[in-house]
């Protein structure tokens, strides 16, 4: 199975220090939805693994989160793409479980449900917690400079981690390989 896992905020959609709390605040990173469509059309299954502490912080409820995810999935479908599943960790960072990145729980849960190992599976993120979760789960960490990625790149040692400007550049390179 050809599989890729994506973080959401900063990779698929623009990120905000104030959190993405509603459909009206959700804006795709330029080229990201087209990149997901290209992956889908090339036979890749696309999953999302995202921390969503806005729920645990009381800034939004599950209905708002699901409405955002529905909008994201519809945007992909409009271009012939598909997100096959979304894993999310809604808890507040002060009450983090193994599911919240940088812990590998979301990725391990996905691997269990799909009955596969994550060795060689790219996990594309924009933060050090994404890189650490990928490494802890056996997935291949990929950093994009969109979202918080530029800051992550300058503030952390990323030896062995491939870095791309954004999801569109990663997908173009990945599909050409």
7 labelled catalytic: yes
Q: What single DSSP character describes residue 13?
A: B
pLDDT for the residue 1: 86
| Domain hosting residue 70, numbered range | 29-116
From the list 7, 126, 130, 166, the catalytic residue is: 7
pLDDT for the residue 65: 98
Residue 84 phi/psi, 5-degree rounding, is -80, -20
84 in a domain, yes or no? yes
7 in a domain, yes or no? no
34 in a domain, yes or no? yes
125 in a domain, yes or no? no
- Count the domains in the chain: 1
Domain CATH for 98: 3.40.50.1000
Q: At what angle do helices 32-41 and 62-78 cross, to 10 degrees?
A: 60
18 in a domain, yes or no? no
pLDDT per position as a tens digit, 124-155: 999 999 999 999 999 999 999 999 999 999 99
- Confidence check: pLDDT of 177 > 90: no
The DSSP secondary structure of 22-68, one letter per residue, reads: SGGG--BPTTHHHHHHHHHHTT-EEEEEEE-HHHHTTSS-HHHHHHH
9 labelled catalytic: yes
pLDDT per position as a tens digit, 53-77: 999 999 999 999 999 999 999 999 9
Full-model pTM: 0.97
């Amino acid at each position: 199975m050809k599989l890729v896992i994506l973080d959401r905020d900063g990779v698929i959609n623009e990120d905000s220090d104030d959190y993405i709390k509603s459909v009206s605040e959700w804006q795709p990173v330029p080229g990201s939805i087209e990149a997901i469509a290209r992956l889908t059309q090339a036979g890749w299954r696309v999953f999302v693994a995202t921390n969503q502490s806005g729920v645990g912080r009381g800034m939004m409820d599950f209905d708002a989160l699901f409405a955002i995810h529905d909008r994201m999935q519809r945007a992909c479908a409009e271009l012939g793409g598909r997100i096959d599943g979304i894993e999310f960790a809604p808890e507040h960072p002060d009450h983090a479980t193994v599911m919240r990145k940088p812990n590998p729980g979301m990725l391990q849960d996905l691997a269990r449900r799909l009955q596969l190992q994550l060795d060689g599976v790219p996990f594309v993120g924009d933060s050090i917690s994404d890189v650490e979760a990928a490494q802890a789960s056996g997935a291949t960490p990929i950093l994009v400079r969109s979202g918080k990625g530029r800051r992550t790149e300058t503030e952390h040692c990323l030896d062995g981690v491939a870095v791309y400007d954004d999801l569109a550049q990663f997908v173009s390179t990945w599909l050409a390989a």
